[in-house]
Amino acid sequence: MKFPIVQIVEPSSQQSKHRAAGIFVRKETRDDINSIKKRLKSIREYSRENNIILIEQLKNTLKRYDGLKITYAENAKEAASYIKKHADNNDLLSLNKSNVVINEIRPELKALGFKTYLRYFKEFNNFEKEKFKKQIIDYWSLPGMHERGLIESFGVNKKIEKITSYDMRDYIAVLGVNAISAEDANIFFLQHMSNISKDFEQARKIILIVSIEKIMKDTGDALLHTQSMGIFGLESILLDLSPNEKEIFDFDSLPVISHTASEKEIHVILFDNGRSKLLNNDFRDLLLCIDCRACARQCPVGMHLLLEKEMVYSPKNYLMGFLQGSLPTTEGCLHCGRCHVECPVDIDIPTLIWKAQLEYYARHSRGLKKRMLDDPEVLAKLGSTTAPISNWLTRIPIVKLLTELFAGVHHKANLPIFHKETFRDWFERRRHGR
Ligand code: SF4
Ligand code: SF4
């Protein structure tokens, strides 16, 4: 059976440090980080502008590999139903932490009765203490190298050229592909632990989810895309490194299936879920996204917005979830603009969130709560005119609870103190010594 090559991109800081030393000694000129961003943006634009052609090209390329089963899923329900149909009553899934898998498909998989785990969380326990400490130190030494344009700090450390059935266990791996080349179907993953490599070794069935904007022209473009996820998303990854008990499952401890009893299966789902509609509307820049999550790093409200839903947060995922209909609002955004500053491909997320909100309210009426909060000046005038009674009222517990119920202001929030005299009047009075 023939399979495409799977290329695993990992941090390689020790190796890069040696290379870097040589480069500095030889005084070679390096690409600076801005020229890397420029290259990245141009390959992402190519991929977006040629998306329909690239999908067709990839479908034809994939047909060369007789070991693959290929399908196209219009939405998350279709993708989950396909997985159910091919699961042979197995309900145990290992997922990677990609937003297509976690945010988009996992809710549908859970609704169909699957048990889902992120196997890399278990790896926190598997690491020998010293080895793990070294790996983390290596990670933290990378950003300084990126400033010098050393994109080699993330490189292909492993190539899986042959899929074997020797160490197989009875579970299914559902993996969101980070990039794929339409020319030769080389598949790229960014890996921080060893979860992807192990799933390729151990899972009885592997379902690869290729969201359509991740199809790149060739292997070179797919590699730069995947390296850039590490380079620009590094700090977000590090800040997100905390094990979650609920996601842990020890796949290594499952019994090995005799490889003569069964053959490994690999499926590819080309996944749309509203993306092709974006190609021709005002939100098309979202298709430039590489899912590095650099935009999440400085978002002041980020961690609170999707945490309860156990979704992977980034401002882009927040907006995408709203456009796909899985999130009810984007009102949590403060429009501070930090996400736009961080984005390596310059996606103006705050403006797109405004646009989504305006379009939504053009179709739906604003409720009382929304109208009150949208017009803080009216509330401020009311509070000032009725001060000090307003100050006394807003400190009574029952009024605080009613304010939370009707205006959405948390009962523990301290409201401002209202003054009858405006700031301008106060200033004038002081200026004239009155
Ligand atoms: S503009 Fe909104 S989404 Fe972006 S960083 Fe600020 S609060 Fe977060
Ligand atoms: S929108 Fe966010 S996740 Fe996407 S490329 Fe920009 S910074 Fe990375």
Nearest CA to ligand 1 atom 1: 335
Residues 377 and 348 in one domain: no
Identify residue 99 by its one-letter amino acid code. N
Radius of gyration of the chain (CA): 26
Residues 157 and 27 in one domain: yes
CB 72 within 8 A of CB 270: yes
Pairing of strands 154-160, 6-11: antiparallel
Residues 178 and 103 in one domain: yes
Residues 223 and 299 in one domain: no
* pLDDT score of 144: 56
Residues 225 and 343 in one domain: no
In angstroms, the CA 276 to CA 272 distance is 6
In a domain, 185, yes or no: yes
In a domain, 1, yes or no: no
CATH number at residue 257: 3.40.50.10420
Q: Work out how many domains the chain is built from and give that number.
A: 3
The atom of ligand 1 lying closest to the CA of 337 is 1
* pLDDT score of 122: 72
In a domain, 231, yes or no: yes
In a domain, 71, yes or no: yes
Residues 346 and 423 in one domain: no
Identify residue 210 by its one-letter amino acid code. V
- What domain range includes position 333? 293-363
In a domain, 59, yes or no: yes
Nearest CA to ligand 1 atom 6: 336
In angstroms, the CA 142 to CA 154 distance is 9
Residues 36 and 52 in one domain: yes
For the chain, 434 residues long, give each residue's pLDDT as a single digit of tens: 788 999 999 877 555 566 666 655 666 666 678 888 999 999 999 999 999 999 999 999 999 998 899 999 999 999 999 999 999 999 999 999 999 999 999 999 999 999 999 987 777 666 666 666 666 666 666 655 555 555 667 888 889 998 888 889 999 999 999 999 999 999 999 988 788 999 999 999 999 999 999 999 999 999 999 999 988 887 777 666 666 778 888 999 999 987 776 788 999 999 999 999 999 999 999 999 999 999 998 898 887 777 667 888 899 999 999 999 999 889 889 999 999 999 999 999 999 999 999 999 888 887 777 777 777 788 888 888 998 898 898 889 998 898 888 877 888 888 888 998 888 888 888 888 77
Strand partners, 169: 203, 256
Residues 225 and 329 in one domain: no
- Listed residues 278, 302, 330: the one ending a domain: 278
Nearest CA to ligand 1 atom 8: 299
Residues 11 and 33 in one domain: yes
Residues 383 and 358 in one domain: no
> 304, 330, 339, 352: which to mutate for ligand 1, most atoms within 8 A of CB?
339
CB 237 within 8 A of CB 143: no
- Listed residues 320, 348, 363: the one ending a domain: 363
* pLDDT score of 42: 97
In a domain, 288, yes or no: no
The atom of ligand 1 lying closest to the CA of 334 is 7
In angstroms, the CA 394 to CA 397 distance is 8
> 333, 351, 354: which to mutate for ligand 1, most atoms within 8 A of CB?
333
In a domain, 286, yes or no: no
Q: List Cβ neighbours of 175 (8 Å cut-off, separation of 6 or more).
A: 95, 96, 98, 101, 189, 196, 199, 206, 207, 208, 209
pTM to 2 decimal places: 0.86
Residues 304 and 353 in one domain: yes
In angstroms, the CA 213 to CA 48 distance is 7
Residue 114, both tokens: 């699957």
Name the maximum alpha-carbon separation found in the chain: 96
In a domain, 287, yes or no: no
* pLDDT score of 165: 82
- Listed residues 278, 312, 347: the one ending a domain: 278
Residues 113 and 177 in one domain: yes
Nearest CA to ligand 1 atom 3: 315
